[in-house]
Structures are given as C-alpha cells and as structure tokens.
Amino acid sequence: ATPTAIMVGTGLGAKRGVLFKNATALETSARIDTVVMDKTGTLTKGEPEVTDVVVHGLSEDDVLALTAAVERESEHPLAAAVVRYAEARQVPRLEVAGFRNVPGHGAGAQVAGRRVLVGNRKLMVDEGIDIAALVARRDELAATGRTAVMVAVDGTAAAVIALADAVRDTAAPAVAALHEAGIEVVMLTGDNEATAKRIAGQLGIDTVIADVLPGDKADKVAELQRAGKKVAMVGDGVNDAPALATADIGIAIGAGTDVAIETADVVLMRSDPLDVPIALRIGKGTLRKMR
Ligand code: ADP
Ligand code: MG
C-alpha cells in the first residue's frame, strides 16, 4: 500500500475510534472472509445479572451464602454477579478454605465445613455430582439464552443459578452488515451450546462453536485458517488473547482486558460491534487506493 493510502485509512479509522496499530492490519482487513466473535463481553455487554435461583434441598439464602463464599475468591464475571446478588439479599458471610479455580468450568472450596462447587454441567459431571434433581431446570433455563450455573453442596446438586447478559444494541446490525458484505460470522464461546445457540439465533449468526475451553479458542481459529479462511477474531477477554494473536487480524473491544487490547491489531475504542464491519470496509478502501 502507498503511505498515503495507509494514512488515509488510519485517519478514517481514528475518527471513529477504530485504531489500526499497523499497516499490515489495514491491508489484511480487506481480505477477511470470516469474522469469529467471542460471545461474552463482545456480542453481549459482559455485565451478567442473576435472574433465577432454583434450589433443591437447601433454602435459597443458604445456597446463596455458600455459593457467594466461593465466588468471592474467583475473578470470573459470573462470580462477581453471584456475589452482588447474594450481598443484596444480605446473606451471612461464611468462611472459605481451599479455594480452587477450574478454568472454563467453575470453582470450588470448603465453606463452613461443607464442600461447595459452582460451575457448568461439565464440572458437575467431572466431579461425580448427582445432578438428576436439577438438570431439567438447568436445560430449560439455558434454552432461554441465560447462562445456567449449577451449585453442588457435599456432592449433591443444590441449585441452578441463571444469569442473563444483555446483547449489545448493535450486535445484530453488525452481523447483518457483515453478512451483506459476504462475510461469514462465527460465534466462539466458553459458554454452553444451548445458551450460545439461543443468542446466536437472536443475532442472526448461524455458526456456533460452544463449550470451548479458554486455552482452545486459538486452536478453533487455526482450524478455520487451515480450511482456507481469512479470519478476523473479535474479543475482549484474557482467554481471547491467544486467538486474537492467531487470527489474520485480532480486533479487541476497547472496554476489554488489557491483554486483549495489547495483543490485538485493531482496537475498537467505542466497544461497538458495528465498528467491525466498518473496520473491514476501511481496509477495503485502502486496498482499492493501492491499485
Ligand atoms: P466465557 O467465554 O463465557 O467467559 P469461561 O470459559 O470463562 O467462559 O467459562 C465457561 C463456563 O464455565 C461459564 O459459562 C460457566 O458456566 C462456568 N464457569 C466458569 N467459572 C465460573 C465461576 N467462577 N462461577 C460459575 N461458573 C463458572
Ligand atoms: Mg469475552
């Protein structure tokens, strides 16, 4: 590309808060045919809130006190939402020992002498928890697009906690604009398939890769590349950084984590999904001027 074309493209982007960190990113963006989007914090606002608590065998307050004690030790956004909800209900603060984080699955600890686990269904199955009493409710809640987390106390399922995370207002228009430009859109998420599919359906995304472990997102991007796709990855989280680095271009949400912003080639300062098709269009304009 001519230096002038690069300058024009970079300037156009900067006006909209679309920061291209290098000329290569600007050039590559013109050749993208597949956009892979993280769900939580990218397509959604990343501000989950508890909507339902379904208990089995214990009172809601007891379950919330036990669960919040574990989640206080976790840095996961879902954990923060559970703690906020429990604190609003003014449940007692319980002592916690032996906290353990299970990446992509959940967490566990000893709380007031009881063994508490909180996380997805896979965590419960892996830990040999009997979930029969609650699994139907979990599936129902997940099918509504909420993230359904399960709680086990002393080896038995004690609750399902559902959390909703609103989709960003411009997520659906962004997907539509990408489709109009002939670009394939893929959702990539650590969340479960039922929840992910429901939200993808609302946004008009037809390809969903769900239940992806934090360390496996980059592999999924590499798989698409091996299939011949030119991939832009859009993400916000620590767990998105390797995928942002692997993709042909990495695009970070400005409100995202520092490591995502540092790793990406393009930063969307306004955290607006509509700036994804705009970034790619700016790249195309630059390429046209080169010829
Ligand atoms: P995401 O990409 O959606 O942020 P993660 O890989 O961080 O996904 O987590 C995947 C799933 O594991 C979550 O949707 C949730 O069901 C479960 N999970 C992980 N950490 C926690 C936690 N601290 N509390 C409850 N659930 C958790
Ligand atoms: Mg995210």
Cα–Cα nearest to 20, from 270, 244, 266: 266
Residue where the block lists tokens 């239940």? 211
Is 158 near ligand 1, meaning CB less than 6 Å away?
A: no
Q: Which two tokens stand for residue 60?
A: 């809601």
CA–centroid distance for 180 within its chain? 24
pLDDT for residue 286: 73
Count the residues in the chain.
291
Strand pairing report for 34-38 and 49-55: unpaired
Cα separation, 273 vs 232, in Å, equals 13
pLDDT for residue 246: 98
pLDDT for residue 177: 97
pLDDT for residue 290: 53
Is 118 near ligand 1, meaning CB less than 6 Å away?
A: yes
Cα separation, 47 vs 242, in Å, equals 23
Sign of the alpha-carbon torsion through 18, 21, 22, 24: negative
Is 41 near ligand 1, meaning CB less than 6 Å away?
A: no
Going from the Cα of 235 to the center of ligand 1, the distance in angstroms, rounded, reads 16
pLDDT for residue 85: 98
Choose one of 40, 64, 76 to mutate for the ligand 1 pocket test, by most ligand atoms within 8 angstroms of C-beta.
76
pTM for the model stands at: 0.91
Is 250 near ligand 1, meaning CB less than 6 Å away?
A: no
**Ligand positioned closest to the Cα atom of 188:** 1
Is 78 near ligand 1, meaning CB less than 6 Å away?
A: yes
Cα separation, 85 vs 44, in Å, equals 20
Query: How do the pLDDT tens digits run along the chain, 291 residues long?
Result: 788 888 888 999 999 999 999 989 999 999 999 999 999 999 999 999 999 999 999 999 999 999 999 999 999 999 999 999 999 999 999 999 999 999 989 999 999 999 999 999 999 999 999 999 999 999 999 999 999 999 999 999 999 999 999 999 999 999 999 999 999 999 999 999 999 999 999 999 989 999 999 899 999 999 999 999 999 999 999 999 999 999 999 999 999 999 999 999 999 999 999 999 999 999 888 767 654
pLDDT for residue 55: 98
93: how many CB neighbours lie within 10 A of its CB?
12
This model of the complex carries an ipTM of 0.94
Going from the Cα of 190 to the center of ligand 1, the distance in angstroms, rounded, reads 7
**Ligand positioned closest to the Cα atom of 46:** 2
205-210 contacts at long range (C-beta below 8 A, 24 or more positions apart)? 205/37, 205/175
Catalytic status, residue 38: yes
Strand pairing report for 184-188 and 34-38: parallel
Looking at ligand 1, which atom is closest to the CA of residue 195? 14
pLDDT for residue 287: 65
Protein residue with least CA distance to atom 14, ligand 1: 191
pLDDT for residue 68: 98
Cα–Cα nearest to 275, from 194, 208, 196, 177: 177
Choose one of 141, 149, 151 to mutate for the ligand 1 pocket test, by most ligand atoms within 8 angstroms of C-beta.
149
- E strand map for the chain: 18-20, 34-38, 49-55, 96-102, 106-111, 114-119, 147-153, 156-164, 184-188, 207-209, 231-235, 249-253, 266-268
Exposed / middle / buried, residue 228 (Cβ in 10 Å: 0-12, 13-18, 19+): exposed
Q: Pick the catalytic residue: 33, 38, 154, 211?
A: 38
